[in-house]
Amino acid sequence: MAKSREVVRRTTEERRREIAEATLKLVAKHGVDGATIVRISNAVGLTPGALYKHFSNREAVLAAAMDIMDRGSWISESSGGDVLSRLKNAAVSHSSWAEAEFETLLHPMFQFAVAAGRGAVYDEMRSRFRSFLKASAELIDEGKLDGSIRKDADSQDVAWGLLMFAWAEDVARLVGLDEMITSGASVRVFHALLYDISAETGAKRDGAE
């Protein structure tokens, strides 16, 4: 007697995550406009009607996909005795993180960026990058308190520098300029920024005046 096929039932959250991950892959392959509800539902084995039981509309599906693209993890997961050390280590680890996540996270991010000149996608992208800048500025403020970063450093400017560093490496990989990463050039430029804001550098300058 043949065994009955076991039905694996996913929780609502598991199914939503599956849909969001499938959407990211479709965005990477077809662009934001090409990630249609029909393609998304086919990718996860659902009818469009069944997919709408998990998300109210296509914009909600795209927003869930963008939630997976955590731009700040290369900083938040870095280690070090103080904030300045964490940032130095984060700069070194960003390249390997970006390489590992390029197809699954960064390539879709570029597609979202291209489509961000209009509507809900624009609002979502702007909100996420502003959140990154806010969290980064708060981290710099933390560094001022632990004594590793100069108190007169502009936290917003430094946060913008962090984002520019990440963007520069991501775009370099996108257009085939990997040698700017593998040669260490991008990290050296980033470390020059950190050297300028370090409390130790500030103390040396004050002592020389």
Residue 138 CB neighbours (<10 A): 12
* pLDDT for res 70: 65
The whole-angstrom separation of Cα 208 and Cα 130 is 38
Cα 17 to Cα 13, 21, 149: the distances in Å are 6, 6, 39
The whole-angstrom separation of Cα 134 and Cα 188 is 24
pLDDT in tens, 162-193: 999 988 988 888 888 989 888 989 999 999 98
* pLDDT for res 102: 75
**Average pLDDT value for residue range 73-102:** 84
* pLDDT for res 200: 87
Domains and CATH numbers, the chain: 12-67 (1.10.10.60), 70-208 (1.10.357.10)
122 neighbors 116 (Cβ within 8 angstroms): yes
**1 — pLDDT class (breaks 50, 70, 90):** very low
* pLDDT for res 17: 92
> What is the token pair recorded at 149?
């970063």
Look at residue 7 and tell me whether its pLDDT is greater than 50.
no
Look at residue 100 and tell me whether its pLDDT is greater than 80.
no
- Residue predicted with more confidence, 94 or 143: 143
**Average pLDDT value for residue range 127-131:** 85
* pLDDT for res 118: 64
* pLDDT for res 4: 47
**6 — pLDDT class (breaks 50, 70, 90):** very low
pTM over 0.85: no
> What is the token pair recorded at 45?
């084995």
* pLDDT for res 138: 94
Mean pLDDT of the chain: 85
pLDDT in tens, 20-78: 999 989 998 898 889 999 999 999 999 999 999 999 999 899 888 888 876 667 887 78
* pLDDT for res 202: 62
The whole-angstrom separation of Cα 137 and Cα 158 is 7
**93 — pLDDT class (breaks 50, 70, 90):** confident
103 neighbors 28 (Cβ within 8 angstroms): yes
* pLDDT for res 207: 62
The whole-angstrom separation of Cα 50 and Cα 69 is 25
